[in-house]
């Protein structure tokens, strides 16, 4: 696998599939020999952003920290994958402006579908007003205006979505291989 450093930024509501897709893309890139790191929003919050709350300022700080790490990795020829709700467009655009090769992946899924999928019952509680500052219900989520890739996880399979991301990265020239696409390991 030949590649340059870039950042693949998955954004979308809680439960839309960001973590699942980013883990699959990460595994496929790693299996192909790429230098790649994954920064999942939930894990970052427990280590890099411990102590931050869910105010707009704290959420923006969290996104800036993830963006800072992604920029460090990508400028050193590592593929950085971020999977974070990142609800505010301005914070995502700020991160984009600092990273040379930034690829935004909007993982869209209607709230109604997310509420049906939600095994923890968080959407039900948020819709009933029991959870404050719940993104997409009682707190805003600003979808990207021009993402490089849009996934509709309510209509696409995980495999279709991963293939869509992979194809776009090849189309953009960010990943290259002498092997045909069917020769990559499926993970």
Q: Give the model confidence (pLDDT) of 7-46 as tens digits.
A: 999 999 999 999 999 999 999 999 999 999 999 988 888 8
In a domain, 97, yes or no: yes
Q: What is the mean pLDDT of residues 97-106?
A: 97
Angle at which helices 158-171 and 18-31 cross, to 10°: 60
Q: Which of 99-108, 121-130, 161-170 has the lowest mean pLDDT?
A: 121-130
In a domain, 177, yes or no: yes
Q: What is the mean pLDDT of residues 146-158?
A: 97
Range of the domain at 54: 2-110+141-183
- Given pLDDT bands bounded at 50, 70 and 90, which one contains residue 102? very high
Q: What is the pLDDT of residue 1?
A: 64
Q: What is the mean pLDDT of residues 76-102?
A: 97
In a domain, 20, yes or no: yes
- Given pLDDT bands bounded at 50, 70 and 90, which one contains residue 187? very low
140: left (phi over 0), alpha (psi -120 to 50) or beta: beta
Most confident of 85-99, 112-126, 130-144: 85-99
Q: What is the mean pLDDT of residues 139-157?
A: 97
How many angstroms separate the Cα of 116 from the Cα of each of 110, 113, 135? 10, 5, 16
Q: What is the pLDDT of residue 184?
A: 47
Q: What is the mean pLDDT of residues 55-67?
A: 93
Q: What is the pLDDT of residue 35?
A: 96
User: Residue 61: pLDDT above 50?
Assistant: yes
User: Residue 55: pLDDT above 90?
Assistant: no
- Given pLDDT bands bounded at 50, 70 and 90, which one contains residue 52? confident
Mean pLDDT score across all residues of the chain: 91
Q: 14, 22, 86, 153: which is the annotated catalytic residue?
A: 86
Number of domains the chain contains: 1
In a domain, 38, yes or no: yes
Are 107 and 21 a contacting pair, CB within 8 Å?
Answer: yes
In a domain, 68, yes or no: yes
In a domain, 118, yes or no: no
In a domain, 123, yes or no: no
| Catalytic residue check, 86 | yes
The C-alpha atoms of residue 79 and residue 102 are separated, in whole angstroms, by 10
CATH number at residue 44: 3.40.50.300
In a domain, 120, yes or no: no
């Amino acid at each position: 696998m030949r590649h340059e450093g870039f950042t693949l930024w998955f954004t979308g509501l809680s439960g839309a599939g960001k973590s699942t897709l980013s883990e699959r893309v990460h595994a496929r890139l790693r299996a192909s020999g790429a230098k790649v790191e994954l920064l999942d929003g939930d894990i970052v919050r427990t280590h890099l952003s411990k102590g931050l709350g869910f105010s707009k300022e704290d959420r923006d700080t969290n996104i800036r920290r993830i963006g800072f790490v992604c920029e460090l990795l990508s400028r050193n020829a590592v593929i950085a994958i971020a999977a974070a709700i990142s609800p505010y467009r301005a914070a995502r655009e700020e991160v984009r402006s600092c990273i040379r090769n930034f690829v935004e992946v909007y993982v869209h899924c209607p709230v109604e579908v997310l509420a049906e999928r939600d095994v923890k019952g968080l959407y039900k509680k948020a819709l009933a007003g029991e959870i404050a500052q719940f993104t997409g219900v009682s707190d805003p989520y600003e979808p990207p205006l021009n993402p490089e890739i849009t996934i509709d996880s309510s209509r696409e399979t995980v495999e279709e979505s991963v293939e869509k991301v992979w194809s776009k990265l090849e189309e953009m020239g960010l990943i290259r291989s002498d092997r045909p696409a069917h020769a990559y390991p499926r993970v």
